């Protein structure tokens, strides 16, 4: 089913400021839903979703069920690297966001799209898999966790190029994905990314041995999101 969506590229924006903005949009859609005979419906079928693209200043975030043991530095060490820290309400464990990374926050009503949360996450992964295929990079899924991986299942070579962590309530989503494009991967050295101790991280820049035009990558990811979710930009 086609779904109307506003697209917003916020550029470089503070993590907490963007989280608050997401929460406003999320709340608006939630409040537009009601229960009718036990079935949740949207009061305003024309209320569009929103897809946000953003880059954040250096920040570490921990999911609601994540372990602080996967953070290998203290707050003073984070400050020394100009990084901040937030415990969030998304799923997943600890990850890093920073310049050169495309962070995507879809605030979608899955009820209007006609899919559940598991299918939603699978479609996010598919959009990224199709995006990096444009660079002749083969991405895949990993049974042990979400996200998009290179050489999944090859012990010692598995590396994540895109992390996924979402929140959903009443079939409405927020938070999302983080695709490493020109990301400074040294920031991942101070955490067990997504809780994994034996797997690496990578980026388009590292895989292609050259810095990428992030605006071009954004256009590709935006187009693949449109394809996978059958989005109509409004």
Q: Give the residue numbers marked as catalytic.
A: 194
Which has the closest alpha carbon to 62: 159, 142, 175? 175
Residues counted in the chain: 234
Would you list the DSSP string of 65-117?
T--GGGB-S-HHHHHHTT-EEEE-SSSS-EEEE-TTEEEEEEE-BHHHHT--H
For residues 132-152, b (16+ Cβ closer than 10 Å) or e, as one string?
beeeebebebbeebbbbbbbb
Does an H or E element contain 205, and which?
helix 204-208
């Amino acid at each position: 089913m086609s779904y109307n969506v506003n697209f917003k590229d916020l550029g470089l924006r503070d993590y907490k400021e963007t989280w608050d903005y997401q929460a406003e949009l999320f709340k608006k859609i939630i409040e537009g839903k009601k229960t009718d005979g036990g079935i949740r419906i949207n009061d305003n079928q024309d209320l569009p979703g929103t897809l946000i693209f953003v880059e954040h200043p250096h920040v570490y975030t921990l999911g609601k069920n994540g372990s602080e043991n996967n953070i290998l530095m203290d707050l003073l060490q984070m400050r020394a690297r100009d990084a901040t820290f937030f415990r969030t309400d998304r799923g997943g464990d600890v990850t890093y966001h920073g310049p050169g990374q495309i962070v995507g926050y879809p605030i979608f009503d899955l009820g209007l799209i006609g899919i559940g949360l598991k299918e939603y996450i699978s479609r996010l992964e598919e959009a990224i898999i199709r995006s990096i295929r444009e660079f002749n990079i083969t991405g895949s899924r990993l049974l042990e966790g979400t996200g998009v991986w290179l050489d999944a299942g090859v012990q010692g070579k598995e590396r994540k190029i895109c992390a996924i962590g979402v929140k959903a309530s009443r079939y409405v989503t927020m938070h999302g994905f983080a695709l490493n494009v020109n990301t400074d991967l040294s920031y991942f050295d101070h955490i067990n990314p997504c809780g994994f101790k034996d797997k690496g991280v990578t980026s388009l820049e590292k895989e292609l041995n050259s810095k990428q035009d992030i605006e071009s990558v954004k256009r590709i990811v935006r187009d693949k999101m449109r394809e996978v979710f059958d989005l109509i930009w409004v």
